[in-house]
Amino acid sequence: MIIPVKKRIQIFDTTLRDGEQAPGASLTPEQKIVLAYKLAELGVDVLEPGFPISSPGDFAAVETISRKVQGVEICGFARAVRGDIDAAVRATRDAERRRIHLFISSSDIHLRHQLRKSRPEVVAAAREMTAYARQFCEVVEFTAMDAARTGIDDLIEMVEAVIEEGASIINLPDTVGYALPHEYGEMFRRVRLGARGGQKVSYSAHCHNDLGLAVANSLAAIAGGATQIEVTVNGVGERTGNCALEELVMALETRGDALGAETGIVLDKLYDTSRMISGAMHFPIAYNKPVVGRNAFQHESGIHQDGLLKDRSTYEIMDPERLGIPRSMIILGKHSGRHALKDRAAKYGIALDAAELDALYESFKETADRQKAVSDDELLRMVSTATGQQAQVYELGDVQVLAGSAPRRVAAVTVRHLQNGTEEAYTSTGSGPLEAVIAAISQGIAEHISFAGLDLHSLGSGENAQAEAAVMVEWEGCKFRGTAIHQDIVMAAGIAYIAACNAALLSARVEQVREAVFPVVE
C-alpha cells in the first residue's frame, strides 16, 4: 500500500506584527523577545516580529530577535518604499535566515481611495521596490494587498512584474475578510497557472476573519496551491483578527489525510503558547474558541458525558493532552448525570455506593438549578455530607486582606486541617490582594504544591454577580485543577486554590478507586 505524501505547509507567524496591530494589544520590545523564543519553540517556520520602520522600539525588537532567536527564518516587513526596506534590511541583518516582506495595494478600491495613484504607477512601484529589496536579500516575499478584491487580470499583471524582479514568494491576502472559500482558492489557481513564471514561485495566504472565514479560506488557498499560511496565535489582529494558528494547524492535523497537507508545529506547546500570548496582550480567550477555548474540551450534557467516559472518540475529535491542555472535560452543571458525578468523585479517590450516589445527586441537582455550574469545592462538601466522611484535606476559613495605597497588601487567613481537626492562622504580603492571599494559604499547605495559574470569570453582571475561579497547581510532576464560585473574587481564588491542592493530595487514591468504580470490561 502506497501512503500519499502530504504537502508540507510553512507556518508564517505574524502574531508580533499583524497580531499586535489589534487595538490594545501592543507589546513592549522585551515582551516580543520572550514571545519570539516561545514561537520558535512552537515550531513556526517564519517569524515576523514587527514593522521596523514604525517605531524605534519595533526596530530594536526585530533587531534583537534577529540576532538571538535561532532555528526560524526572520522576516522584515516593509511598505514598497525605500526607507521601509532599508529599515527592514538593517533590523534583520544578523538573522540566521531572513527574508524581506514588502507590500503594496492592488485593488481598485485601494488605488483610488488610499494610494490615489494609477495602476501603471503602482505596478511600476511594485517592480522597482522588489528589485531594490532583492539587492539585499535572496528571499523576497511580495504582498499584493487586498488581492481578494482585485480583478484577476490586474492581479496577474502585478504578480508577473514582481516575479520578473526576483520575488520568490507571492502573498495574495484577503485583507478585509471578504472572500468566500471557493473564490479565494480559485484566485490562487488562476494566478499560479496564468502568470508568467507563476509556477516557479511559492504562494502564501494571509486571511482576515471579518466574516469568520479566515481558516476556511486558508484551507481553500492550500487546495489552490499555497504552501505557506500566515497566521497569528489566538487569531489576534486587525479588527476581528487573522487566521488562527492553532485552528489551522489542528484542522490540518485532524483532517490531514483529506487535505493532503501537514505542518511542523509542536502540538504539545500550542496551549501554553496561546495562554502566554493572551496574557501578554491582555486579550482574553473566548470560552467557545476552537482548540484553546475553555469549553473546547469540556462537556456538561449528561448524554455527552456518558459517551466520553465510555470512549473519548464519541464526542471528541482531538486529544487535548496532545496539545498540552490539562484534561478536565467534564463540567458539572444542571445537565450533568449520575455517571459524571460518580466519575468526578472517583477523580478525588472517593468510591460511592448506590445510596451515597443518590444522596449526592439530589443535593447536586438542587445546587445546579440555582447557579450555572457546581465548583469542585462545593462538590467535595456535598460528597462529605453524602458519605458521612471527610472528603477534603484542607478547607479555607476566615480571610482578611488589608488594602490601601501601600505597594504591598497584607493578607491573614485561617486554614483548617480537616484530617486532624486543627485550624491554623497564617499571614503574608503580596503586590496585590490575590497574591497576598495565595501566599498566606501556601504557608498552611504542608506539601510542596506549586501554584501554576489562575483564571477568573464573571458569572453575571450587576452588584450580585459572582466570580468563578479556576486554579491550576503542580505537584510531583502532575497538574491539578480546582474551581470555586464566590461573590468576592479574592475568596473565589483562595477557595479554588484549596480545591486544587485537595485534588492533588487525593490523587494518590484515584487509580485503585477508579478500578473499583469503573472496572475494565474485557
pLDDT for position 456? 85
The residues facing 450 across adjacent strands are 474
Residue ranges covered by each domain of the chain: 7-281, 302-389, 394-509
C-alpha distances in Å from residue 62, one per residue of 12, 203, 220, 306, 390: 15, 24, 31, 50, 57
Q: Which three-class secondary structure state does DSSP give residue 500?
A: helix
φ, ψ of residue 303 to 5 degrees: the values are: -65, -45
CA distance 418 to 506: 13
> What does the DSSP 8-state code read for residue 420?
T
How far apart CA 373 and CA 388 sit, in angstroms, is 24
pLDDT at 3: 65
CATH class as words, domain 394-509: alpha beta
What was the pLDDT predicted at 408? 87
Q: What is the pLDDT of residue 516?
A: 47
Among candidates 298, 206, 260, which has minimal Cα distance to 15? 206
Nearest CA to 438 among 469, 476, 468? Answer: 469
Report how far residue 156's alpha carbon sits from residue 193's, in angstroms, rounded to the nearest whole number: 10
Residue 266: C-alpha distances to residues 3, 40, 247, 321, 323 (Å): 23, 10, 14, 13, 8
Sheet holding 478-486, edge to edge: 450-458, 467-475, 478-486
Helices 119-134 and 82-91: crossing angle, nearest 10°?
A: 30
Kind and range of the H or E element at 92? Answer: none
pLDDT at 513: 45
Residue 508: its pLDDT value, please?
A: 64
DSSP3 helix / strand / coil % (the chain, rounded to 5): 45, 20, 35
Given the candidates 3.20.20.70, 3.40.50.300, 3.30.1490.100, 3.10.20.30, the CATH classification of the domain at 7-281 is: 3.20.20.70
**Could you tell me which of 428, 494, 412 has the C-alpha nearest to residue 456?**
494
Q: What does the pLDDT read at residue 521?
A: 43
C-alpha cell at 501: 491542592
pLDDT at 135: 97
Q: Is 166 exposed, middle or buried (0-12, 13-18, 19+ CB in 10 A)?
A: middle
Residue-by-residue pLDDT tens, the chain, 522 positions: 566 789 999 999 999 999 999 988 889 999 999 999 999 999 999 999 999 999 999 999 999 999 999 999 999 999 999 999 999 999 999 999 999 999 999 999 999 999 999 999 999 999 999 999 999 999 999 999 999 999 999 999 999 999 999 999 999 999 999 999 999 999 999 999 999 999 999 999 999 999 999 999 999 999 999 999 999 999 999 999 999 999 999 999 999 999 999 999 999 999 999 999 999 999 989 889 999 987 777 765 666 666 766 777 787 888 888 888 776 555 676 777 787 778 777 777 778 888 888 888 888 888 777 776 777 778 878 888 888 777 788 999 999 998 777 788 899 999 999 878 899 999 999 988 999 999 999 999 988 899 988 888 777 766 777 888 889 899 988 888 888 888 899 999 999 999 899 888 887 655 444 454 444 444
Quick one: cell of 277? 500570548
What letter would DSSP give residue 327? Answer: P
Handedness of CA 347, 350, 356, 360 (dihedral sign): negative
